[in-house]
Structure 1
Amino acid sequence: MPLYTLITQDGVLSSEAKATLAAELTHLHSEYSGVPKNWVHVVFQEYAPGNGFTAGEAAATAALTLLIRTGRTADYKRGLLQRLWTLFQRATGAPDDQIVIGIQEVPPSQAMEMGQIMPDVVGE
């Protein structure tokens, strides 16, 4: 179920950098949450220079959104956000003011994977 969507300006991440970051995110999420690696999905999207802004000024803003099932504690999510920030900033080289990371949650009963309704989150 975890779906990572990463948005960067075109050219910020090479194909090799994307593959490395996808592997790092997959490993992190699998280890941190205990879900199988084949449940972790990573999608990259890029935008043309001049189409990203921070504080109203053109910038190579980088965004990472994670879609997960509801049921994790606030401490779990804070810890995950901190680890994601480190990985994403290292990969993009973006300064703090040009990175945005967010977690979105969906009830397991409203998500499917591999043809099955997702199970509830079990323990931390």
Structure 2
Amino acid sequence: MPLYTVTTQTGVLDEQAKAALAGGLTQLHVEFSGVPRNWVHIVFHEYERGNAFTAGERAAVAALTLCIRVGRSDDYKRALLQRLWALLQEATAAPDDQIVIGIQEVPASQAMEMAAIMPDVPLPE
């Protein structure tokens, strides 16, 4: 179910950099959550120069949004955010003030994978 959307200015990530980032995001998510690799989806979006702003000024913003099932702890999400930040910054070379990352959560009952409603996130033992 995890769906990553990576948004950058055109030309920041070439095809090789996208593949490397997708591989890193997939590996991180599999290790962090224990979901199968084929559940991890990554979509790249690009915008033309001059179409992103920070503090009202044009900027080459690098953004990552992750959609996951509800049920992970706040500690889990904080640790995941820190790892995601490092991966995105390494891939884009963007400074801290030009990166934004957010996690969106949906109930498992509102998500499908492989033609089946997603199961709830297992509770920690």
TM-score range, shorter chain: over 0.9
Q: Equivalent residue for 1:98?
A: 98
How do 1:21-100 residues align onto structure 2 when only pairs under 5 Å count? 21-100=21-100
Partner Cα distance (1:121, 1:41) in 2: 17
Q: Equivalent residue for 2:111?
A: 111
Q: CA deviation at 1:123?
A: 3.0
Which consecutive segments of 4 or more residues in structure 1 shift more than 4 A? Answer: none
Runs of 5+ consecutive residues of structure 2 not aligned to the other structure: none
May I ask how many residue pairs the two structures share in their alignment?
A: 124
Q: What is the root-mean-square deviation in Å for CA atoms of aligned residues?
A: 0.6
The one-letter code of the counterpart of 1:56 is G
Partner Cα distance (1:69, 1:32) in 2: 14
Percent of residue pairs identical: 72
Partner Cα distance (1:31, 1:38) in 2: 13
Partner Cα distance (2:11, 2:59) in 1: 13
The one-letter code of the counterpart of 2:22 is A
Partner Cα distance (2:71, 2:99) in 1: 26
Secondary structure of 1:94's counterpart equals: coil
Query: What whole-Å deviation, never above 9, does each CA across 1:26-65 have from its counterpart, x for those lacking one?
Result: 0000011000000000000000000011111111001000
The one-letter code of the counterpart of 1:11 is G
Q: CA deviation at 1:111?
A: 0.5
Runs of 5+ consecutive residues of structure 1 not aligned to the other structure: none
Partner Cα distance (2:90, 2:44) in 1: 16
The one-letter code of the counterpart of 1:9 is Q
The one-letter code of the counterpart of 1:47 is Y
TM-score normalized by the length of structure 1: 0.99
Partner Cα distance (1:20, 1:123) in 2: 31
